[in-house]
Chain A
């Protein structure tokens, strides 16, 4: 069976709808962190730390730290939110709440559960990224930030694609982690290396080995591409590179996730 077709099946939408309904019942508490986090980061690091370190050199130009940070936070939000949702929250639903097992005794099959989880993680992460955009606009209105605002909506579809790919990584770890006690491992082994080797919070040092590794990191390309788009209004090669790497991740990981989760959930190869 084609592992990608269930993405558009009604069963995957039913699973997505279930997660959306649960989230909307707690929207006021659920919305607080994604609004507060970028606000605090922009104030503490962009304004506070930025005031101390002054301007950074980026692509031969001088950019103050708040402007450097703003597109990075946007990319990091899509990455972190989808990874967390598809790893931690999905694991809870699979292992402790047994909501997957309940779904799998209906017309919903495992491939729908996997796509439902991935689409939900990407939807939520994109929503959070939109909230970050709102915060950025607030900084713009306050005169702190000047971006090419017209490009902001254009970044949303790419953020969704990136979040979908990151959720496929999260589901991979959901499938292989032996227990919730091991949940910190992917955070230390995956989240932190990807997050730091990505030009989201600071420019990567000019170390050839590090730069070579960063070329394989979709978050690095996403951050650099969004930075070029929002700071200079130009579309550079980083955004197609980010899209290509994300599509590659989806192509490889979604079938693998399904195979591993089938083994995990059903005890069946």
Chain B
């Protein structure tokens, strides 16, 4: 399955990765993944732990060499024209990797020195980033004095100091409180508005839904589904999710009935969850007219649940 799905963004394709394969420690962790991202687009890369998200991202930004496949960044082949490809991409890793020897401003200056051609008027660029990312009060402090949210802001500011065209954000809000997450979302959205192509991995379903123009769901190193959020959910999960209390008098009978019809009910704490298409829901309603239950649209949590069931032995 390819990642070439129509999206809201109609810009130039800035990331084009095809047929990526990578084995680590003798295990194939990425197995033929395609990934594209256009200017002004955010692509959310999702999947359970071990799905191959970070490995895919690491290959795309040149940290790992793919065993097979090609990666083009803004038209430059990462393998044969690595310097120019790397000049046009920026990276915010999962862990904070800023230089603890330098201040916030010093980190941005030092990162700017790792790029050629050098960013024109680097000092003015850094001033603008410090203001835009709200780092002004901390510009002369060491990064370790910052809160988690401001550390992530610094990481993202550092990723764009050289004005890249493609940015990779690996779980940029993990561990942040809700207020800090929203602030980071706004910054990411601002980068999208600036026309950057952004590839994002996250475990937060609401984050993926809010930020991403397109989703690409990875499972066991392959693309399981790709496209707009609703389409992906419909394809993998179903159109409706029924929640039934496991304490309901008829619960066992209902679950048995669902199983005989090919549905896969899953118990999470005190509730049974089951995804159904429209005819399936109609049949369910007709079969249990007296039953009390809740019907809601599927979420990415349901998607992960569905994927984990697919993986189950």
A residues at B contact (CB < 8 Å): 10-11, 14, 17-18, 21-22, 25, 97-99, 101-109, 266-268
A105 to B86, CA, bound (A): 8
Q: Which stretch in B31-39, B97-105, B185-193 binds the other chain? A: B97-105
Chain B contributes a number of interface residues (CB within 8 A of A) equal to 30
Inter-subunit contact A106/B24 (CB<8 Å): no
B113 and A98 contacting across the interface, CB-CB below 8 Å: no
Q: A18-B110, A97-B100, A98-B97 are in contact. Are A267 and B116 (CB under 8 A)?
A: no
**From DSSP, what is the main secondary structure of chain A's interface residues?**
helix
A106 contacts B115, CB within 8 Å?
yes
* Smallest CB separation, A114 vs chain B (Å): 15
- A sample of 23 cross-chain residue pairs with beta-carbon separation below 8 angstroms, ordered by A number, consists of A11-B114, A14-B114, A18-B99, A18-B110, A18-B113, A97-B100, A98-B95, A99-B100, A99-B101, A101-B93, A102-B97, A102-B158, A105-B61, A105-B63, A106-B114, A106-B115, A106-B162, A107-B86, A107-B114, A107-B116, A109-B82, A266-B64, A267-B24
Which 4 residue pairs are nearest across A and B when measured between Cβ atoms?
Answer: A106-B114, A105-B91, A102-B97, A98-B97
- Which listed residue, B24, B82, B99, B115, touches A102 by the CB 8 Å rule? B99
- Scan residues 9-63 of chain B and give those whose CB is less than 8 A from a CB of chain A: 24-25, 61-63
Complex Cα distance A266/B24, Å?
A: 10
A-B contact sample (12 more), CB < 8 A, given A18-B99, A107-B114, A107-B115: A14-B113, A17-B113, A21-B110, A22-B101, A97-B101, A99-B97, A99-B100, A102-B98, A105-B63, A105-B159, A106-B162, A268-B64
Which residues of the other chain, B, contact A266 by a CB distance below 8 angstroms?
63-64
**Is A106 touching B63 in the complex (CB atoms < 8 A)?**
no
Take A14-B113, A106-B114, A268-B24 as given contacts and tell me if A97 and B65 are in contact as well, using a CB distance cutoff of 8 Å: no
Report B's interface with A, CB cutoff 8 A.
24-25, 61-65, 82-83, 86-87, 91, 93, 95-102, 110-111, 113-116, 158-159, 162
Bound CA–CA A250/B99 (angstroms)? 29
